[in-house]
Chains A and B, each alone.
Chain A
Amino acid sequence: MVNVEEIRDFAAGLLERGEVKSVLGFRHGSASAFAEPCTLTEADDAASLVWDPTCLNNLALYLVKDRKQQAASKTPDTRPVGIVAKGCDSRAVGVLLQENYFKREDVVVIGISCEGTGVVDPKKLSNKLKGRTASRVTFDGADGISVSVYGDETETVIPAREVLADRCLECRAAAPALNNVVFGDSVEARDYNEPFHAAKEAENVSEDERWATWEHHFDRCLRCFACRAVCPMCYCPECVVDSTTFVVTLGTSAKEKANRIRWCERSANTSESAVYHLTRAIHLAGRCIDCGECERVCPVNIPLRLLNTKLEKEAFEMFEYQAGHDIEQASLLSSFRDEDPNSFIR
């Protein structure tokens, strides 16, 4: 069992010794049963850290954010940052290292093993409760997630596998391989789903049905861009789907701005939203580490993870490549081997 006190002590120690400028972690949210991200800068604040199956966020996003802020700052603070990371989150740090977004010594990974379970999928929970809100979600230590429903304080125990996030059910590495420290036991044997289970299931339906499904989903997209905004890999200062570029300076020429191609219109309709989501998926091929954040944040529940895991599966089956598993490895899209199936690169 993960003892949250140990995490708090470790975080406090890092801050006390000045080894990091801040620690990214989870605290109780003011708004719901789910934890929310926090950034600690004082050792005393470490007492607010929590660890439970509602610690959903992939905090690697904030490493990227900090990097951007320091790059724009006139007085950058480049001291290391500590980050509480689940197995998947640590792989996100790994990809960022592979892509040289920052250096290994810039980050202290406070790894936490999910110990063979994982985190709750708010959508599955919502389905169970038919839209009602949970007021308390706890893990009973075995295979049950205990849930209290808002407005009806009776507690229900739901088998973990029924409300765990799909990615957790298919997880290949629940303990962070990339770490400075790991809390919790490394439990490798899991009897949930095989890797890429959902993607394989989805492949079993006909192309027409698949297209109809995705048309339905793209149609519902609000284009709130939460999926992009929450993704640690979507760090580009300008995105192909934006009609404006955010790297405009006083020196950017009118021609450059006028000639910017609108690959995707702002309209939330099937074609434009399909372009947005498919482009995003392609740009994450070999980079997505399956933290499932894109799918979690989607307010209308578009199963975005399926798009990404499909490409992850291709990368694994064709190139035996798993993003973020080995930071010494060159990233998939910036390397080639003689045995690669495509000939054009040779």
Chain B
Amino acid sequence: MTDNIYLPKIGRIVGIDEETQGARAIKTFKVEFPNSDGFEHNCGQCAMLSMFGKGESMISIASSPLVKEYKQFSIMKMGRVTSAFHAARVGDFIGIRGPYGNQFPLDDWKGRDLVFIGGGVGLAPIWPVIQTAVARREDFGKITVFYGARTSSNIMYEADFEKLKASVEVQLSVDAPEEGWPGYTGFVPANLMDKAPSPDNAIAITCGPPIMIKFVIQNLQALGFADEQIYTTIENKMKCGIGKCGRCNVGKDYVCVKGPVYSWAELKSLPQEY
């Protein structure tokens, strides 16, 4: 029998971290494969997660490909499926199929400086790249991670950032003034201009709310980054994940297959239908 690509594997939630609170809370789920039928993935890929009876949602795999025991997903509470995830408990079962999409071309970036710019839940898709780059620290030049959240309590992966500081430069920001905040106050694009990383032999990788991405790219260009040096990851509504259902179609691409990772040079050639 042909492999049934629509039939999800069973995953079990083995850990839940509450990243942020509020109406659009973010939780990070660690998922294991109890039937030992897990899959390998690359940085930037996604998986279609199911809550049976509620439906499926395409979610970025937020853990590093080097971590084999589990996969990690950071999910913002937005609709039917994600609300079901937020109501789930450790030990609950989910469906999971994938991995889908292309990847960040990390191997092509050997010897270069890496500048990561993330905002809000947009940190999740680039987190595995950061983790992998750190694990292969000697392969790359200077690594800088910009990350901004609305308030300090909305900062994702807080504990991991502390560990990260040992090997890379971390530039955190919050949108509004906060008493005792040691980092930058203001939006991510402004923090980026303030620190002005050099474009020489560098690659910038950004993900966050669409409006943030827009200004980050403008600012990167102002700093001298060429279109080929800027990478981002886009999302669209997806149903199948395998380039058939037509929902994520942008120009000639099905984002679920050809994306979600694009250089700005590639993205510019597609219609802005995302």
- A residues apposed to B, CB below 8 Å: 253-255, 257-258, 260
In the A-B complex, the 4 residue pairs with the smallest Cβ-Cβ separation, listed nearest first, are A258-B83, A254-B77, A257-B79, A258-B80
Instruction: Tell me which of B78, B79, B82, B86 has the highest count of chain A C-beta atoms within 10 A of its own C-beta.
Output: B79
- With both beta carbons as reference points, the residue of chain B lying nearest to A260 in the complex is identified as B80
Question: What are 20 A-B interface contacts by the 8 Å CB criterion?
Answer: A253-B23, A254-B23, A254-B24, A254-B77, A254-B78, A254-B79, A254-B82, A254-B83, A254-B86, A255-B83, A257-B78, A257-B79, A257-B80, A257-B83, A258-B79, A258-B80, A258-B82, A258-B83, A258-B84, A260-B80
Query: Quick one: which of B196-225 are within 8 Å of A by CB?
Result: none
**Cα separation A260 to B80 with both chains bound (whole Å):** 8
**Cα separation A254 to B54 with both chains bound (whole Å):** 14
**B86: A residues at CB distance < 8 A:** 254
- With both beta carbons as reference points, the residue of chain B lying nearest to A253 in the complex is identified as B23
Instruction: Tell me which of B24, B78, B80, B82 has the highest count of chain A C-beta atoms within 10 A of its own C-beta.
Output: B80
Q: Mark B70-111, 1 if CB is under 8 A from A, else 0.
A: 000000011110111010000000000000000000000000
**Cα separation A254 to B82 with both chains bound (whole Å):** 8
**Cα separation A332 to B193 with both chains bound (whole Å):** 64
**Cα separation A257 to B86 with both chains bound (whole Å):** 14
**Cα separation A253 to B22 with both chains bound (whole Å):** 11
**A253: B residues at CB distance < 8 A:** 23
Q: Mark B21-32, 1 if CB is under 8 A from A, else 0.
A: 001100000000
Q: Within the complex, what minimum Cβ distance (angstroms) separates A226 from chain B? A: 20
**A257: B residues at CB distance < 8 A:** 78-80, 83
**Cα separation A117 to B24 with both chains bound (whole Å):** 60
Q: Within the complex, what minimum Cβ distance (angstroms) separates A254 from chain B? A: 4
- With both beta carbons as reference points, the residue of chain B lying nearest to A255 in the complex is identified as B83
**Cα separation A254 to B78 with both chains bound (whole Å):** 4
**Cα separation A304 to B173 with both chains bound (whole Å):** 60
**Cα separation A253 to B78 with both chains bound (whole Å):** 7
**B23: A residues at CB distance < 8 A:** 253-254
Instruction: Tell me which of A253, A254, A257, A260 has the highest count of chain B C-beta atoms within 10 A of its own C-beta.
Output: A254
Q: Within the complex, what minimum Cβ distance (angstroms) separates B120 from chain A? A: 13
**Cα separation A255 to B86 with both chains bound (whole Å):** 11
**A258: B residues at CB distance < 8 A:** 79-80, 82-84
**Cα separation A255 to B83 with both chains bound (whole Å):** 7
**B78: A residues at CB distance < 8 A:** 254, 257
Q: Within the complex, what minimum Cβ distance (angstroms) separates B96 from chain A? A: 20
- With both beta carbons as reference points, the residue of chain A lying nearest to B55 in the complex is identified as A243
**Cα separation A258 to B80 with both chains bound (whole Å):** 4
Query: Quick one: which of B116-143 are within 8 Å of A by CB?
Result: none
Q: Within the complex, what minimum Cβ distance (angstroms) separates A327 from chain B? A: 41
**Cα separation A257 to B24 with both chains bound (whole Å):** 12
**Cα separation A258 to B79 with both chains bound (whole Å):** 5
7 more CB-based (< 8 A) A-B contacts, given A254-B83, A257-B78, A258-B84? A253-B23, A254-B23, A254-B79, A255-B83, A257-B79, A258-B79, A260-B80
- With both beta carbons as reference points, the residue of chain A lying nearest to B86 in the complex is identified as A254
**Cα separation A253 to B83 with both chains bound (whole Å):** 10
- With both beta carbons as reference points, the residue of chain A lying nearest to B54 in the complex is identified as A258
**Cα separation A254 to B86 with both chains bound (whole Å):** 11
Q: Within the complex, what minimum Cβ distance (angstroms) separates B76 from chain A? A: 8
Query: Quick one: which of B35-90 are within 8 Å of A by CB?
Result: 77-80, 82-84, 86
Q: Mark B143-154, 1 if CB is under 8 A from A, else 0.
A: 000000000000
- With both beta carbons as reference points, the residue of chain B lying nearest to A243 in the complex is identified as B80
Q: Within the complex, what minimum Cβ distance (angstroms) separates A247 from chain B? A: 14
Query: Quick one: which of B159-174 are within 8 Å of A by CB?
Result: none
Q: Within the complex, what minimum Cβ distance (angstroms) separates B219 from chain A? A: 24
**Cα separation A43 to B214 with both chains bound (whole Å):** 44
Q: Within the complex, what minimum Cβ distance (angstroms) separates A93 from chain B? A: 36
- With both beta carbons as reference points, the residue of chain B lying nearest to A251 in the complex is identified as B23
**B83: A residues at CB distance < 8 A:** 254-255, 257-258
Q: Within the complex, what minimum Cβ distance (angstroms) separates B50 from chain A? A: 15
**B84: A residues at CB distance < 8 A:** 258
**A260: B residues at CB distance < 8 A:** 80
Instruction: Tell me which of A253, A255, A257, A258 has the highest count of chain B C-beta atoms within 10 A of its own C-beta.
Output: A258
Q: Within the complex, what minimum Cβ distance (angstroms) separates A246 from chain B? A: 14
- With both beta carbons as reference points, the residue of chain B lying nearest to A262 in the complex is identified as B80
**Cα separation A260 to B81 with both chains bound (whole Å):** 12
**Cα separation A254 to B87 with both chains bound (whole Å):** 12
Q: Within the complex, what minimum Cβ distance (angstroms) separates B184 from chain A? A: 25
